[in-house]
A and B are shown apart, each in its own frame.
Chain A
């Protein structure tokens, strides 16, 4: 007898969340990195400063591109919890950063999110014309400080496409990536990005957060 598929909401990735009903969010983001050997200190620091509850995560993200005739490709991110069956995916479209008139302390951009339940995601993305650009597995911890979310994770790539078991995963760098995000309300970029920057400055000199304009750098495919 066929067993019913029970979709458990806890199968959804925890690093990306959708505050109820709010699928389109303007967010401010800052990045930093820290060598593997010092991550322990960063965790201690974050445990002291942030909210008491923090979580570990291991998630697989695939980034697809839709080739447009003219202009840059449209990128769509699909993220899932690296567990048994890949059925619950967090789909995200990240907009281009809003123009900075010198009063923004972080990269501010629009993010549109959706949770998609699909038994065969590859079939779905293929039929809408998306091609895989790159993928990675992120393993680390997520902390919160009120509305601010801090992710500390290490990126891995798989040596064998399609399998993501621990033996096939190879680390990409000898450091962890740190990402700090805050949702912006009332389109007040300067206020919330300043709030984010002030919090991030507390973590110096361990990590130095920077406003990295990733759109200017050439994407190196790997």
Chain B
């Protein structure tokens, strides 16, 4: 069962799983709470020893499209602001492995990973229509873990600036309107299809990367440690877990370690995919007979 950390506002978009919110009680009937993002109302079916004005963590389950509170933990009001920063965005490490998909999937299942759902990442590069303009190439990405979003990543300019945007799927419809400036280059597009496994606090995604819907280019593994978005808090664990899972003698480090940033975002995951796809494109096509999808 998937567990999410939400705000009162983001609860509206939750369609499955169990959510945790931290808010202040503003009304008892109907039971309404409020946090920094807005208000939320839900059913309470347990004996609540809580009064108006209390702040607490509420564990909510989605039952028949209605949120029902299963557990309440009262906290002092000063912690309400602190709780705001306890967000659930994982830190992920995306890497390419030399072994075929079947073999890495076996390693994951042997470890205890349970298949959860299929995953899919795609990348379409938009190139400038005329080479004389100052328009730079732009990459459009989608990741199945963020089904309503589209990610835009440009190339890093000489000043160190890079276009990094998160948009909704509408941007996919707007970009073709700008065909006078940018044209999609389907021959250089990439796709990664595979399966997502859950193992305790980790989400492991293994898939096969292919270019332009035809040539298989390699196997990609994405390991996400879900509980925190603070890189420093979990980097050691993430590196050790990944190296032991792959267990091929090579000791690796994620590239973003060098950047010394504290917070991790979804764009960082997509950036890692972009780097891998760019590397793959530079190499010659890898055709392995045993990268069959299961």
Chain A positions near chain B (C-beta within 8 angstroms): 1-4, 6, 8-10, 18, 21, 23-24, 66-69, 74, 76, 91, 93, 112-120, 123-124, 126-130
Contact = CB atoms under 8 A, between A and B. Distances in A.
Contacts of A119: 164
B9 interface: yes
Contacts of B204: none
A207 B170 CA distance: 34
Contact of A112 (B36, B138, B170, B180): B170
Given A2-B262, A10-B9, A127-B136, A115 B181 contact: no
How would you classify the secondary structure of chain B's contact residues: helix, strand, loop or mixed? Answer: loop
24 contacts: A2-B263, A3-B85, A4-B229, A4-B263, A6-B87, A68-B180, A74-B177, A74-B178, A91-B170, A112-B173, A112-B174, A112-B177, A113-B170, A114-B171, A115-B167, A115-B168, A116-B166, A117-B166, A120-B161, A120-B163, A124-B152, A129-B135, A130-B178, A130-B181
Chain B, interface residues (CB within 8 Å), range: 35 or more
B9 A6 contact: no
Contacts of A4: 85, 87, 229, 263
Given A3-B85, A127-B163, A66 B180 contact: yes
B220 interface: no
A23 B173 contact: yes
Interface in B12-39: 36-38
Interface of B: 7, 9, 36-38, 84-85, 87, 128, 133-136, 138, 152, 154, 161, 163-171, 173-174, 177-178, 180-182, 229, 261-263
Contact of B170 (A66, A69, A74, A115): A115
A130 B263 CA distance: 31
A117 to B, nearest CB: 4
B174 A114 contact: yes
Contacts of B180: 66-69, 74
A201 to B, nearest CB: 33
Given A4-B85, A6-B84, A128 B178 contact: yes
A29 to B, nearest CB: 19
Given A23-B168, A115-B168, 7 more contacts: A4-B87, A8-B36, A23-B170, A66-B178, A66-B181, A127-B163, A129-B135
Nearest to A21: B169
A177 B171 CA distance: 29
Contacts of B263: 2, 4
Contacts of B167: 91, 114-117
A118 B165 contact: yes
Given A116-B167, A124-B152, A128-B135, A76 B37 contact: no
Contacts of B87: 4, 6
B240 to A, nearest CB: 24
Contacts of A115: 167-168, 170
Contacts of A2: 261-263
Nearest to B38: A10
B25 to A, nearest CB: 21
Nearest to A22: B170
| Top 7 A-B pairs, shortest CB-CB distance | A114-B170, A23-B170, A129-B181, A68-B180, A129-B135, A118-B165, A116-B167
Nearest to B181: A129
